[in-house]
Amino acid sequence: MSTTNLTEQRPYLGFGLGLRKEHFETVLADRPDVDWFEITSENYMVDGGKPLDYLTRIREHYPMVMHGVSMSIGSTAALDFDYLKKLKTLINRVEPAWFSDHLCWTGVNGLNLHDLMPLPYTEEAVQHVADRVSQVQDYIGRQMLLENVSSYISYNDSQMSEWEFLRLVAERADCLILLDINNIYVSAHNHNFDPLSYLTALPKERVCQFHLAGHTHENNLIIDTHDQPISDPVFELYAAAIEHYGKVSTMIERDDNIPPLAELLTELEQVRAIAENYFKDSEKNERTAKIKTA
Ligand SMILES: [Fe+2]
């Protein structure tokens, strides 16, 4: 049983960025107008060194969340408790608002694919992943968020859509969802489904964070490269996500071709403007409705 239940509170952090080493100095010197940072957990799962020192100093000024890439929650290999122990140590050090990893598998039998592989969407896999998420949450003592990955393959054995699979895992494990809007767009293109079917299918109380990122077109596929600004269709999908889920903490992931921080701040302002325009409109509508019914 996890000890911190985020489902009831769904804390709202505002608009954030992924913390990247290229920006450590600027963040400390300028204290940019970013509501929070997401860190990649694996970069700091050590006892000391410069990155951890920067992290400690930046943490003094900003809320943080932790995002991992190595849990391999969908694998049939045993859970790696050495990894989880290090993760727990970092969680105790950073005190993040929450921690997350991907709904995927990254290897089996000692082999690491260094890629986030999708799962077959079967009842057996739902139970398998939900059991493992429950074990992780019990060990860490907190609920975790699971993120939808972008994918380029599918399995003949799948019995349900990806969004049904994600919903069932989240409900059965009582965990939260990190919805990557760009990944929905990428997978919708690659697997030919309507992104809005996915976007609107998840339990609202469990969607705790949004990711936004850029992608690259390659032949008939879209690849989730995180090396470009957010595309217009992904901004449009984000607007639909805000309309459907309301206030959800949102951040931009940029992992390659990293621009100066100022460029990402401008992009984050675009994100903020989309969301805040919608919030203003919906508050105005609510006020008008109240006046009409008074
Ligand atoms: Fe993501």
pLDDT in tens, 221-238: 999 999 899 999 999 999
pLDDT at residue number 292:
73
Cα separations in angstroms, 254 against 85, 154, 275: 28, 26, 20
What tokens were used for 10? Answer: 């769904």
Neighbours of 182 (CB within 10 A): 27
The residues of the chain scoring below 50 in pLDDT are 1-3
Distance 209 CA to ligand 1 centre (A): 10
Distance 38 CA to ligand 1 centre (A): 11
Distance 35 CA to ligand 1 centre (A): 18
Distance 280 CA to ligand 1 centre (A): 27
Measured in whole angstroms, the distance separating CA 146 from the mean position of its chain's CA atoms is 7
Distance 181 CA to ligand 1 centre (A): 8
Beta carbons of 150 and 186 less than 8 angstroms apart: yes
Q: Pairing state of beta strands 64-67 and 99-102? A: parallel
Q: Which residues contact 168 (CB under 8 A, 6 or more apart)?
A: 126, 130, 160
Distance 14 CA to ligand 1 centre (A): 17
Q: Pairing state of beta strands 111-117 and 144-147? A: unpaired
Cα separations in angstroms, 82 against 49, 109, 245: 20, 16, 36
Distance 49 CA to ligand 1 centre (A): 27
Distance 291 CA to ligand 1 centre (A): 41
Question: Rounded to an integer, what distance in angstroms lies between the CA atom of residue 134 and that of residue 139?
Answer: 9
pLDDT at residue number 4:
55
pLDDT at residue number 294:
66
Distance 178 CA to ligand 1 centre (A): 8
Distance 149 CA to ligand 1 centre (A): 7
Beta carbons of 177 and 207 less than 8 angstroms apart: yes
Distance 290 CA to ligand 1 centre (A): 38
Distance 161 CA to ligand 1 centre (A): 19
pLDDT at residue number 1:
45
Question: Rounded to an integer, what distance in angstroms lies between the CA atom of residue 227 and that of residue 225?
Answer: 5
Tens of pLDDT, residues 145-189: 999 999 898 999 999 999 999 999 999 999 999 999 999 999 999
Distance 222 CA to ligand 1 centre (A): 15
Question: Rounded to an integer, what distance in angstroms lies between the CA atom of residue 131 and that of residue 21?
Answer: 35
Distance 82 CA to ligand 1 centre (A): 24
pLDDT at residue number 8:
67
Measure the CA dihedral 81/6/146/93, to 10°: -40
Q: Which residues contact 35 (CB under 8 A, 6 or more apart)?
A: 13, 14, 15, 16, 62, 63
Beta carbons of 114 and 146 less than 8 angstroms apart: no
Distance 286 CA to ligand 1 centre (A): 32
Distance 48 CA to ligand 1 centre (A): 27
Question: Rounded to an integer, what distance in angstroms lies between the CA atom of residue 79 and that of residue 221?
Answer: 32
